[in-house]
Structure 1
Amino acid sequence: MNLNEIKSFVSDKSEEEKLKIAAILTDDKRKNVNKLGETLIKNKEKKDIEIKRVKGLYDFDRNFGDIAIAGVDEVGRGPLAGPIVGAAVILDLNACNDSELILGINDSKKISAKKREELAEIIKKKAVSYAIGILDNNEIDKNGIAWCNNEIFRMAISKLNVMPNLVISDGYAVRGIPIRNNFIVKGDAKSASIACASIVAKVYRDNLMYEYAKQYPQYGFDSNVGYGSQGHIDAIKKFGTCPIHRMSFLKNIL
């Protein structure tokens, strides 16, 4: 078999079968076939490391007990334009088989945009329940970002199809909910549930900002998603504001 035929043969094999084939390929006299074998082994090692990391995130949540846990996180506290979005996600934390784990989950800022999109779809399919809370720039200007940050969590939690026994949040306590709450510093890098909420919220808000970019192309919302990049600030000074700008955030610019 030539290299392409070997690749085709290996492509649909299980991880265990690939590893056995890799051992044979590394003994082959052809360098390109050797390299394929080495790549298969390295890929397996990387996946094993990722499985161990993600199991640690699930274990962190399971340590709170055999209960329904909602992880919550937000995106959009700091931008000059657009809404603030929060997500609440309840995972099946008893899904311990490697194939049931959602590999790749992490703080959404550490994941590429393409990977976030893929993961958001997987999370929504595998979650026991998930929900979104959103407040626009007018609510932010009226009530302040701190109030809105808390309110989007309350909104998202109230929309869940399953009421959790515990809410775990990233960094801040959630006030005004009739459910026990633990807040965790850098929770989106420690908790599977919070990491998933971080990804779902980020993808939801980014997609909204991409749509706003079509309406208001001069501000570059498709790249800055409302944050205060130099290009965004220059556009505000040149064109003024648009209906989704947070006027309370622009006092030092206008």
Structure 2
Amino acid sequence: MNQYNVDNINKLKTKDIKTISEKINIVEYREFIDIFKLDNRKSIQDICNKLEKKLEKQSLEFKRLEKINFYENQARNEGYIYIGGVDEAGRGPLAGPVVAAVVLFERDTKIEGINDSKKLSEAKREELFSIIKEKAIDYGIGIADNLEIDRYNILNATYIAMKRAISELKLKPDCLLNDAVIIPELHCKQIPIIKGDSKSISIAAASILAKVTRDRMMYEYDKKFPGYGFSSNKGYGTAEHYKGIEKYGKTKIHRESFLKNIK
């Protein structure tokens, strides 16, 4: 864009400048702003302000991505090599499994938009699901079904799912960052982090893999067991779900221990 200067920018029409702004890469935004802020037209100033806000948003996202690598980098600085983030999805629903995942990344991995799965739209989770699997040096997904939840209780079934996820890894983690839990009977360093899915990139990634995997399962269950709203409620106790149970009874994927008062 160095072909533009004070003498010729005023000759450009607003629509031409807008076209330029839409075609350039974000790394060129600053140069564009420095050039076209010399144009006094309000329409051009609005374009510059819009790009300025995008740059500010990018800067904030970069700082956030630096921050959510803190626990991983701290563990590496303490000598740990393979650091995995662990999280689960589906502890609260009345039906379906609990799903856990573990994800290992290279140092300082950055994935724009990654966050606690509950803070993301379904479309964004689906998009990140593929990106996480591509960027991870290793990952695993484990499942404990409703029968195991009933037999062992939800907390122990969650641990079972987490251990199954870890057993899927090709690399053996020497440090695990867990979302607020200590997994029993594991012989490696574990660091429980409260609200870890918002504070650690590895845990956030695990939360997304677990959530997307479980949601996909519930979509399939909705086809097998129509009338409960599994596609929308994912097995949680919504009014539609309770109406389905009242009308059709419980299915083979319902958690009996969560529905003791319903025959």
Fold equivalence (TM over 0.5): yes
> What RMSD in Å do the two structures reach over aligned CA positions?
1.8
Which structure would you say has the larger Rg?
2
Inter-partner Cα distance in structure 1 for 2:131 and 2:53: 25
Q: CA deviation at 1:3?
A: 5.2
Inter-partner Cα distance in structure 2 for 1:231 and 1:4: 51
> Structure 2 vs 1, CA of residues 229 and 16 (structure 1 numbering), >3 Å: closer, same or farther?
same
Of all paired residues, the percent bearing the same amino acid is 44
Q: CA deviation at 1:131?
A: 0.8
| Structure 1 range deviating more: 17-26 or 119-128 | 17-26
Q: Residue 76 of structure 2 aligns to which amino acid in structure 1?
A: G
Q: CA deviation at 1:32?
A: 3.5
Picking from 182, 186, 195, the partner of 1:173 is 182
Aligned to 2:48: 37
Aligned pairs (5 A) from 1:38-187: 38-66=49-77, 67-95=81-109, 101-187=110-196
1:29-70 CA-partner distances (Å, limit 9, x unpaired): 444333222111101101100110111011222111242100
For structure 1, the residue ranges without an aligned partner over 5 or more in a row are: 96-100
Q: Does 1:234 align with 2:243?
A: yes
1:151-200 CA-partner distances (Å, limit 9, x unpaired): 11111111112111101111110111222211111111111111111111
TM-score by length of 1: 0.91
For structure 2, the residue ranges without an aligned partner over 5 or more in a row are: 1-11
Aligned to 1:204: 213
Q: Does 1:243 align with 2:252?
A: yes
> Structure 2 vs 1, CA of residues 151 and 21 (structure 1 numbering), >3 Å: closer, same or farther?
same
TM-score by length of 2: 0.88
Inter-partner Cα distance in structure 2 for 1:229 and 1:2: 55
Aligned to 2:28: 17
Residue pair 1:233, 1:253 contacting (<8 A) in 2 also: no
> Structure 2 vs 1, CA of residues 209 and 32 (structure 1 numbering), >3 Å: closer, same or farther?
farther
The number of residues matched between the two structures is 249
Inter-partner Cα distance in structure 2 for 1:31 and 1:252: 66
Inter-partner Cα distance in structure 2 for 1:132 and 1:4: 50
Residue pair 2:21, 2:47 contacting (<8 A) in 1 also: no
Inter-partner Cα distance in structure 1 for 2:217 and 2:18: 40
1:69-123 CA-partner distances (Å, limit 9, x unpaired): 000000011100111000000011244xxxxx11212211111111111111111
Inter-partner Cα distance in structure 1 for 2:83 and 2:201: 10
Inter-partner Cα distance in structure 2 for 1:243 and 1:5: 62
